[in-house]
Amino acid sequence: MLWDSETLLALLLNVTVTFLVFALITRISLSQPGLLFLSFFFFFYCAWRLASVFYIDVFGPIVSEQLERSIGPGLAAVPLGACQALVLLMLLVSFHPQRLKALAAASNLKISSFMPAGRLDLFDLAFWVVLLFEVALWIEMLTGGTIPLFSKIERLDYSQQFGGFLHGRLMDWGPMLAFQLGLLFASPVLRGARFDFRFGALFGGLMVYLLFVGHRFSSFFLYFSFFIMPLGSIVLGRSKAAAFDHLAFYRMLRALWLPVAGLGVLVLGALTYSYTVVRGAESELLQTKLTQRLLVQQGEMWWMTYERVFLHGDWNARLAFVKLFLDPFNPNRNSTMQLLMELGLPIERAHALLDLGVAYTGGWPEVLFELGGPVNGFILVVLSAVMFSEFLFLLTRCVVEERYATCFFLTPILYAVEVYLASGMMNSFIQLTFMTKLVVVIFVYVLEDRWRARLMASASPGVGQATALEREVTP
């Protein structure tokens, strides 16, 4: 097949941008592994979407089953890669070595060393509470008469038709619970101890439960990403501290290879079972289904936005704003994907799918260009990158300073931010519940800060003065 110069130039641009983004992710992962753990959800999702768009650009036209049309070829990978690179570069700015040194110096004092002896152990209490929840979760499923793994029931059907009260709470709060388990698992390292494997076992119990109720890759990936985030915060926040034993810490990490490998086998088994048993009637189309799932569906909504906004100059900021914040099809769900599906599909089909609870993949940065167009959209991307990276730095500070109360109330905010960087969900930020959570976490942060100051001052006045001095010189 002979390609003309225009096609070769498009290929060169796509390859160059895609390579640069993947190289940047690799560079960050090798030079700052803590940032890889902390941002694993974004890194993986970013790489997957870019690979999908690159596939559509280079091998198009490709038939999209969900859109019921052909998409590609083009240069959609170029603006998408630029957006992702802006976020990656902002992470490097927020987690600059000088800031990490200042953070390590400010968090040298261990708050646990100032606690009076004989106090109620937070870790023991949390362990028993979560253990009781998981036991009750299993009892609820086993006594319900239906086990999706053996009944060949899809996870969404189980949640809607058979799932009990506790199952519903796990579906609502599961990733946030995974973060708390990861925090309690990793936090003993801040005190020079080993990981608390009780919480690793609890996390493993959740993964097995998800397998039994029909979940596949996306849930395992989401929960795992949140579980390892505190590990990343600890590596970043303590890596520049003189007293931090890097070799001992990485030895402990290497000891986790077996559980991680077990999780990988679990995910692979769940995927194989889902496509070959649960969807057995479609097994002859397995290759087509996998191609659509892995290489088309991740990038198709961005390609539609690229075609509409960048190629045809067709965007309507006012309509987008109204559909996002004032008059969405379903105000209780992600209005971003509702807007994109209405723009990319016949309106009747979009609404029929949305009524069934179906939502396509993507949303960020599509929504920013639907609001701002091909130029101002990049300004919105920069603002998103600053918000994301600085929030992660705040989270890291709270983890390494052992601000457990603040971390607990920060978790719903963290979930909203992570979901925004994946699905572009913006309407959650204007909800009264989100505003209430924001006010509560600010109040808890201030309250915990004063409690910590009083605790250290009562234990050692000199330490309290030193802490105050450190805060004055910390940027």
**Greatest CA separation for the chain:** 79
- Copy the structure tokens of residue 130: 């979560």
Cα–Cα separations (whole angstroms), residue 193 to 110, 160, 245, 246: 12, 43, 11, 13
- According to DSSP H, which parts of 329-473 are helical? 335-344, 347-355, 366-400, 404-423, 432-459, 461-473
- Burial (CB count <10 Å: 0-12, 13-18, 19+), residue 305: buried
- Residue-wise pLDDT for 83-115, tens only, equals 999 999 999 999 999 999 888 887 665 665 555
In 229-337, beta strands by DSSP E: none
- Predicted confidence at residue 468, as pLDDT, reads 44
Distance between CA 438 and CA 418 in Å, rounded? 16
At residue 464, the pLDDT reads: 46
Token pair listed for 443: 């109040």
Burial class (CB in 10 A: 0-12, 13-18, 19+), 218: exposed
Torsion of CA 232, 233, 235, 238, to 10 degrees: 180
Identify whether the C-beta of residue 107 lies closer than 8 Å to the C-beta of residue 179.
Answer: no
Phi, psi of 414 (to 5 degrees): -60, -45
Model pLDDT, residue 463: 47
Is the C-alpha dihedral spanning 29, 33, 34, 38 positive or negative?
positive
- For residue 106, the model assigns a pLDDT of 72
Contact 155, 213 (CB under 8 A): yes
Query: CB neighbours (10 Å) of residue 426?
Result: 22
Distance, in Å, from the CA atom of 458 to the CA atom of 28, rounded to the nearest integer, reads 42
Rounded Cα gap, residues 339 and 368, in angstroms: 12
Residues 6+ apart with CB under 8 A from 373: 309, 313, 315, 317
Which ranges of the chain have pLDDT less than 50? 1, 281, 462-475
DSSP per-residue letters across 85-151: HHHHHHHHHHT-HHHHHHHHHHT-S-GGGGSPTT---HHHHHHHHHHHHHHHHHHHHHTTT--HHHH
Sorted by where each begins, the domain ranges of the chain are 1-431
pLDDT score, position 441 = 95
DSSP run (H or E) holding 83 = helix 77-94
- pLDDT value for 466: 46
Dihedral sign for Cα 75, 335, 373, 414, please: negative
**Are the C-beta atoms of 91 and 392 separated by less than 8 Å?**
yes
Tokens of 265: 């086998």
Q: What is the pLDDT of residue 274?
A: 64
